[in-house]
Amino acid sequence: MSPSRLLTLLLLFLVIFTLLTEEGEAVRRRRRRRRRRRQREGGLERGGRGVRRLRHAAGRRAEFVRRRLRKAKRKNEEGRVRLIDGRADWEGNVQVWHQGSWGNICDDEWDNKEGDIVCKQLGFPGVEKVTYSGVYGKIKQRYWMDNLFCVGTETNLTQCNFDGWGIHDCEGEETAGVVCKTHFSTTTPSTPTLPPRDQPRVTNKTKLAFALDGKLRIRLVGGRTPTEGRVEILLPGNTHSRRRSSSSSSSRTATHTTGKGKSGEEDKSERGEDDDDESTNEVEGERSGRERRAERDEERWGRVNQDQQHTQLNEIEDEEDDINNNTMDTHNQNNNTANTTDPLQDEDEGEEEERWGLVCGDGWTLLEAMVVCKQLGYGFAQGAVSTSYFGGNMSNLVLSGVKCNGNEGRMDQCLHSEVGDVFCPHMDHDYNIAGVTCVNKMADLVPDHFELARSAHLEDKQLFFLGCAMEENCLAASAKTVKESGYGWHLDTRRLLRFTARIVNQGDEAFRPFLPKQYWEWHACHMHYHSMEVFAHYDILDSQGNRVAEGHKASFCLEDNNCMPGVTPNFKCANFGDQGISPGCTDTYAYNIDCQWVDITDIKPGVYTFKLSINPEFKVAERSFDNNAAVCELIYSIQNTWLGNCTLQRP
């Protein structure tokens, strides 16, 4: 075949192929036009393939939009908090939202800073108090946060430092909680949304002495020894704990028991009682037989307990009385009480009896226990418990909200909630009753403020050498911001105020850490176990008392570094040894140890107040907490610093 003929056939083939292609495209165009025309005319049949395709595509687009919205909502909710198991929305255990589920927060290092962030995040003005040890019940979900450390300027808990999501070493009863301040107005009335019993406490606390018409009497009951047990109190003039009679002789007996030398009528006039009070007492006397039998059984049980442990029922009637005489009088009184007849018979005979009441264990701390032991002459408080171990019934509560400083001589000098208006969590269970354990010997820690002033100096150090310290939260929050900024963070320089913290035990008993040995934490940076996560606070305050350099919560390894002549060291941190500070020994954290500083990079030169506080959370018992803080004047300039004029104060 010649080339010309071959070329002709090729051209013919191209022409035919082009015509067929154009015809096919024309057919497809006509079909599309007809389809669009049917759509415009509403000719689409329900259930047709085109309809199904369109609906499927629309559903996929809608599902995609919903997924994106849910993802954005979860992102916005990250770090959201809520309170559960409280009696109202302003109190309860704290839970935080993370990765689509709620989780609890462990109470390790939990304090008012973290609680204030939670309350403000929920829209409340601030925190009233924080709670520990699962006051509102054990956890119902996992633990999301542990060892939470906040500065106080954060707006969300996720902005604080902690061990990591889901990383913890906490048991089920170590849940953190808060009680927030409320928005209830004090000037204009508002309609309550809760029952009167569940309204938050907005009234100021007053001293017990202002609410009593006589001196408060206390005793310890139910313990194995006279120096331990549940705290029982007798409020003089309290109609709830007294029964009246018409005979003057029984009135005189009753007033003698309360420590007053007046008759019943004189006692009544002194308190300003009227006929309404007498009618009230008469109504109370007309109780049902069941109530009387229950009270009789309760009093009989208490008397048997008094007969077995009469030395525990020492009652303080007058703080000027001699302790030995007081103990003997109480012993005789308890024996006499144990030999009395049935309370119903006493009531029929017109004799008046006094009923002792219990104290709510909510918020019961070593500070209140110190006052109880001091008033009873039992030495020092070793423990403050909220338990049913020592017996008691929550229905006999007469006082709640007791708050002491620890240096009061008597319990009636402490603050309290309104007498008779008792609120105590878990009223349906008998495990929130205040109790104490007293001992004759106790440790007493004192910071060496002379060594503190002598060793204070400045040091500039790059972040490259402070990686371990940053993990231990030993630097200001700005250091973390610098590290997250990107390249060159390791060259940033931090200014550190270094000093030596020397702690002396001048008591007559060893100071031991708060946590049992099995709960100590290994610190890889420092290569030893820390027995107390918060043993000291280092703060720098301005002239108004505001914290200008972020206070560092120092965790210590407690040991005997130096002892007085004749005193043998007993505690050593090496090889998982026992930790503590023996009497007459010191635990010294020298200025060259890692984290033994305060990061002052962000403060300006000027005059400040430096405060070193030991055992600031009052978790471990001591003789006194009034000497646990060294407060010094700090003069800071660009080139150097001066620390002096130190005094010992309360943390």
Per-residue pLDDT tens over the stretch 293-327: 444 444 433 433 443 343 333 443 444 444 444 44
CA distance 474 to 468: 9
Q: What is the pLDDT of residue 294?
A: 43
CA distance 386 to 361: 5
* Per-domain boundaries in the chain: 81-181, 206-273+290-439, 445-649
Axis-axis angle for helices 264-271, 248-257 (nearest 10): 60
Q: Give the pLDDT mean for 130-151.
A: 81
Q: What is the pLDDT of residues 145-162, one digit of tens each?
A: 888 878 777 888 888 877
Q: What is the pLDDT of residue 344?
A: 38
Q: Are 358 and 396 in contact (CB under 8 A)?
A: yes
Q: What is the pLDDT of residue 199?
A: 36
The helix (run of H) or strand (run of E) holding residue 98 is strand 91-98
Q: Within 13 Å of residue 113, how many CA atoms lie on the same side as its CB? A: 18
CA distance 239 to 634: 56
Q: Are 625 and 507 in contact (CB under 8 A)?
A: no
At a CB cut-off of 8 Å and minimum separation 6, what does 161 contact?
Answer: 148, 149, 150, 473, 480
Q: Of 642, 649, 616, give the one whose Cα is nearest residue 514.
A: 616
Q: Which superfamily, per CATH, for 445-649? A: Intracellular proteinase inhibitor BsuPI (2.60.40.2360)
- Residue that wins the pLDDT comparison between 527 and 492: 492
Q: What is the 3-state secondary structure (H, E, C) of 364-405?
A: CCHHHHHHHHHHHCCCEEEEEEEECCCCCCHHHEEECCCECC
Q: How many CB atoms lie within 10 A of CB 615?
A: 23
Q: Give the pLDDT mean for 175-184.
A: 82
Q: Of 114, 149, 146, 157, give the one whose Cα is nearest residue 553.
A: 149
* Domain pair 81-181 / 445-649, same fold: no
What b/e readout covers 226-260, taking b as 16+ CB neighbours within 10 angstroms? Answer: bbbbbbbbbbbbbeebbbbbeeeebbbbbbebbeb
Q: What is the pLDDT of residue 192?
A: 36
Q: What is the pLDDT of residues 200-228, one digit of tens each?
A: 343 445 566 555 555 678 999 999 999 99
**Helices and strands per DSSP (H, E), number in the chain:** 14, 28
Q: What is the pLDDT of residues 108-125, one digit of tens each?
A: 778 888 899 999 988 888
- Residue that wins the pLDDT comparison between 644 and 341: 644
81-181 CATH: 3.10.250.10
- Residue that wins the pLDDT comparison between 269 and 420: 420
Q: Is the pLDDT of residue 249 over 70?
A: no
Fold of 206-273+290-439: Mac-2 Binding Protein (3.10.250)
- Highest mean pLDDT pick, 15-29, 56-70, 202-216, 445-459: 445-459
Cα-based angle 490, 496, 501 (whole degrees, multiple of 5):
130
Q: How many CB atoms lie within 10 A of CB 431?
A: 12
CA distance 354 to 129: 34
Q: What's the pTM?
A: 0.58
- For residues 373, 375, 379, 380, the Cα torsion angle rounded to the nearest 10 degrees is 40
**Residue 198 — pLDDT band, cuts 50, 70, 90?**
very low
**Residue 45 — pLDDT band, cuts 50, 70, 90?**
low
Cα-based angle 390, 511, 176 (whole degrees, multiple of 5):
60
Axis-axis angle for helices 323-338, 289-308 (nearest 10): 130
